[in-house]
Amino acid sequence: MAEGLKLTAAEIIEVISTFTATEQAIPAVAASPGWYVVGAFKMRATMLVYLAGVVSVSHASLTLRARLFDLGELLPVAIQLSTQSLVDVYASSGEAELVGGHVYQMQIEVVGNAGEQYFGSMKSLTLAALNLDG
């Protein structure tokens, strides 16, 4: 006799919400700040999260950084991912708690040089939320 589906309890549930932009070029600036908004979302519940992305830069003098910005508090969230890779790489941040009900922006900054030939490339930027309530 074939067994049916069975539900099991998990200690950690990972819910992924993705903002993706194909071949989006982020203009570089010579010096910070130069944050460029690539998306926004409302957090439904307070959760522990991290950022992950597939990103690269056009020149070795550049650094690409991605962060979250809390529009309610008007402050950046204390997590960031970064790369100086000339080819697409997967990069991720540390973890931080986002507050339910707040609206957050996903921002990217590319710093180190300015001009048409200097830019960062974002293939995807993902917010992963860890629900620790199990």
- The mean of the pLDDT values for the chain is 86
Which pLDDT score is estimated for 80? Answer: 95
Which pLDDT score is estimated for 19? Answer: 52
pTM for this entry: 0.82
Which pLDDT score is estimated for 20? Answer: 53
The first and second tokens of residue 58, run together, are 């056009």
67-96 pLDDT tens trace: 999 999 999 999 999 999 999 999 999 999
**For 18-131, which CATH class?**
mainly beta
The first and second tokens of residue 134, run together, are 């199990």
Query: Would you say residue 18 has pLDDT above 60?
Result: no
Least confident stretch, 21-35, 86-100, 103-117: 21-35
Provide the residue ranges of all domains of the chain, joining segments of one domain with +. 18-131
